[in-house]
Amino acid sequence: MTVFGLGNPGARYRGTRHNAGFETVERIAAHRGVKLRKRCFRLYRRAVSDSLTLIEPLTYMNASGRIAGECIVPGDTVIVIVDQMDLAPGRIRIRRGGSSAGHNGLKSMIGAIGEDFIRIYIGTGRPAAGVSVVDHVLTRYSREDRALVDEAEEKAAEAVLRLYGGERFESVVQWANS
């Protein structure tokens, strides 16, 4: 199983809405007791635990797919974790396949590996009136929203570990929606 957490590298973006994927992969790595290390000319960070590979593309969100092809073993289950404005902070959604729904990180991944992968969306909420989408996703959460997103990222990490442990996709989706 290969899990991609999408986000933007660097301290400037740490804790922003767009980095929900990075944060969730880091939670999974902590649960597995592994560290993400820079690889391939610093194009991504990777951790391997048994047959679970965790990837953070360091190519920025909109070019996340740039390194995807070289990180996936043929026949492997692929999961991509991303932020989602159409979900309230603290919510997650899991689905298999589909379009990018306008998410540039997903668009890049689909361009590189096709649509047949599992997506885990972490809710970040919509921008306030007068705030651009770019400004919204590149800002940090309020204290209240941060607590909700922490819970969602932990639930998303647990969903990945359940799938990795062999739990059926439908069961994990049902559990995540409860």
Tell me what percent of the residues of the chain surpass a pLDDT of 90: 85
User: Is 136 annotated as catalytic?
Assistant: no
Note the pLDDT tens digit of each residue in 89-131: 999 999 999 999 899 999 999 999 999 999 999 999 999 999 9
Q: Which domains does the chain have, with CATH numbers?
A: 2-176 (3.40.50.1470)
Q: According to the model, what pLDDT value does residue 169 have?
A: 96
Q: According to the model, what pLDDT value does residue 143 have?
A: 94
Catalytic, out of 18, 31, 103, 136: 18
The DSSP string of the chain is -EEEE----SGGGTTBGGGHHHHHHHHHHHHHT---EEETTTTEEEEEETTEEEEEE-S-GGGGGGGHHHH--TT--EEEEEEETTS-TT-EEEEES---TT-HHHHHHHHHH-S-SEEEEEE--PPPTT--HHHHHTSBPPHHHHHHHHHHHHHHHHHHHHHHTT--HHHHHHHHT-
Confidence of residue 40 (pLDDT cuts 50, 70, 90): low
Q: What is the mean pLDDT of the chain?
A: 93
pTM value is: 0.95
Q: What are the two backbone dihedrals, phi and then psi, of residue 92, each rounded to the nearest 5 degrees?
A: -130, 155
pLDDT of 41 > 70? The answer is no
